[in-house]
Amino acid sequence: MAQFRTCPDTGFAIDLAADKLIKWNAVTAVVFLLVGGLFGILVALTRWPAVHLLDADLFYLALTAHGLDVLLVWIIFFEMALLYFTSSILLKTRLAAPWLGWVQYTLMLVGALITNVAVLQGESSVMFTSYVPMMAAPHFYLGVILFAVGALMGCVVFFSTLYIAKRDKTYEGSIPLVTFGAMTAAIIAVFTILAGAVILIPTFFWSLGFIGNIDTLMYRVIWWGLGHSSQQINVAAQIACWYAIAAILFGAKPLSEKVSRTAFLFYILFLQLASAHHILVDPGISSEWKIFNTSYALYLAVLGSMLHGLTVPGAVEAALRKKGYNRGLFEWLRKAPWGNPVFAGFALSVVLFGFLGGITGVMMGTEQLNIIIHNTLYVPGHFHGTVVVGTTLAFMAMAYWLVPVLWQKELVFPGLAKWQPYLFGLGMGLASIFMMGAGTLGVPRRHWDISFADAMMVHEFPAAAYMMMGLAGISGVIGGIGGGIFILNMVSTILFGKAKVPAPAAEEAPAAPIGGAATEYGSASTLEVPGTFVLALVFLTAFVLYYFVNWKYLASVWGMS
């Protein structure tokens, strides 16, 4: 029989089994963010030409560990916490099969540890992609497979909890939009994990010597069904967090439930197809496959993102205007709680994800334009604009609310928390911009020494490329310090935080309920959000200009005379 406690802050009835699983998954996520972040700083300090910290072997080891721990382990552990939160707690129901939740946690933890050990042993510096014919130690693949199976178990628990909530009628009508967004993430996760199983299980047997050969192109096509789609789980989960934070802080409802859910439906149908942009310069695959996957279909997923980009700030504007912040276009924005790390992280995540990750992703997904920047440092620049300043920042913002609520403790360093989203967001945002700048000048990704100091054939990059690399290094270190402050705050709060003192009448007076998209179906029933429409037009102008500037740039790369 499930046992519940009532959260004094939110009034949520929290299933104790879900509570425990959410906490363990969230804490483990933060620990791996620390590990992966430290490796990231080592990578940044090596690619910063004036520092060039690590030797080549250690650089590729650190790069492999950084990619795995932050792109996969930190993010997926936190997403497991979100899946349990958005199903059990938001739907006011018990978590289905908590024992399976612990199987999920154990498999993911054991898998992550095994893979980290394999990387640290130095025989598996194959980077996140582990492209064949580079061969890692068998336990490298085994660890990733165990981790993925664990994540699949988490999805099973999530969908089973949705079923129980519907059967027990714990909600009326449709599930809340935040839960719908998390469900989108879970659906993409299932495809991601199945694609991973299809390619990584044979690769594991290949590493054991049971299979003679893995076709390189086959590996690349199927592996990216795992590698890129795993980042699309993030996009869906991060947008669910955006709606959740808007609801938690302001009681905001989406401008239109129908539009927001349709936008998530576009993700379910089309977002995974973006994986194909990694194959755009590979021979042997037709242009029809490439262009259909990355353009015709993917643009519908991009439309979904642009809809969310309009309706999330629109929901905030509508909610704040309702509270009386009606003067001019932007009073609601000026008077928003910029000193609250939950809001600051959320707002920066929305803006930076759109401008840095979103626009550049569309450019990269265009077959002709992709050739300009394929396999250059532009690519990590792009995904630091999505996964880091988009997803990670959104998850940090969510954690600033979730950790004090779940643990019932005060933040230990509230002053630092005010600054942290700006330090991390702007540091990593600048790192993303400078990486993309260097990539545009031709600097390759995953390269230990672009000066080719010990090579027989030298390539001279322009001085601006070295400057960009240096600035990316400095920005990365600043962002890393921001990430460190977040981890310090979270760990200190959980271990040493002062217990929250309930208000004197807390037992009699119910806590202020969290409304909006987090707990109920319903639209804001207004489109009077002029500030948001002006901001959207600014974004669209930047989008169009950037897109066509790159066509102009392509024309100059391929001189016709």
> Which spans of this chain sit near other proteins (rule: CB under 8 A)?
159, 162-163, 172-175, 180, 183-184, 186-188, 190-191, 194-195, 198, 215, 217-218, 221-222, 225, 229, 256-258, 261-262, 265, 268-270, 272-273, 275-276, 279, 284-286, 289, 292-293, 297, 520-523, 525
Please tell me whether residue 15 adopts helix, strand or coil conformation. strand
Q: Which is nearer to other proteins, 46 or 232 (CB)?
A: 232
Give the relative orientation of helices 257-270 and 177-208 as an angle to the nearest 10 degrees: 10
Q: Peptide bond preceding 133: is omega within 30 degrees of 0, i.e. cis? A: yes
Q: Which is nearer to other proteins, 200 or 430 (CB)?
A: 200
For residue 383, the minimal CB distance to other proteins (Å) is: 19
> Based on C-alpha coordinates, what's the Rg of the chain?
23
Give the relative orientation of helices 414-440 and 393-407 as an angle to the nearest 10 degrees: 160
Query: Which residue in the block uniquely carries the two structure tokens 């699949």?
Result: 152
For residue 206, the minimal CB distance to other proteins (Å) is: 17
Q: Which is nearer to other proteins, 64 or 184 (CB)?
A: 184
For residue 464, the minimal CB distance to other proteins (Å) is: 37
For residue 29, the minimal CB distance to other proteins (Å) is: 24
For residue 425, the minimal CB distance to other proteins (Å) is: 31
Q: Which is nearer to other proteins, 258 or 334 (CB)?
A: 258
Residue 348 identity: L
CA 335 to chain centre: 28
For residue 269, the minimal CB distance to other proteins (Å) is: 5
Q: Which is nearer to other proteins, 221 or 333 (CB)?
A: 221
C-alpha to C-alpha distance for 394 and 81, rounded to whole angstroms = 14
Q: Which is nearer to other proteins, 57 or 215 (CB)?
A: 215
Candidates 366, 234, 380; CA nearest to 293 is 366
For residue 181, the minimal CB distance to other proteins (Å) is: 12
Tokens of 137: 């130690």
Candidates 444, 403, 487, 514; CA nearest to 176 is 514
Q: Which is nearer to other proteins, 311 or 489 (CB)?
A: 311
Q: Which is nearer to other proteins, 262 or 541 (CB)?
A: 262
C-alpha to C-alpha distance for 47 and 59, rounded to whole angstroms = 9
C-alpha to C-alpha distance for 195 and 212, rounded to whole angstroms = 21
158-170 in b/e form (b: 16+ CB < 10 A) is: bbebbebbeeeee
Please classify residue 425 by burial: count the beta carbons closer than 10 Å to its beta carbon, then call 0-12 exposed, 13-18 middle and 19+ buried.
buried
For residue 268, the minimal CB distance to other proteins (Å) is: 4
Question: What does the DSSP assignment read for 222-257?
Answer: HHHHHHTHHHHHHHHHHHHHHHHHHHHHH----S-H
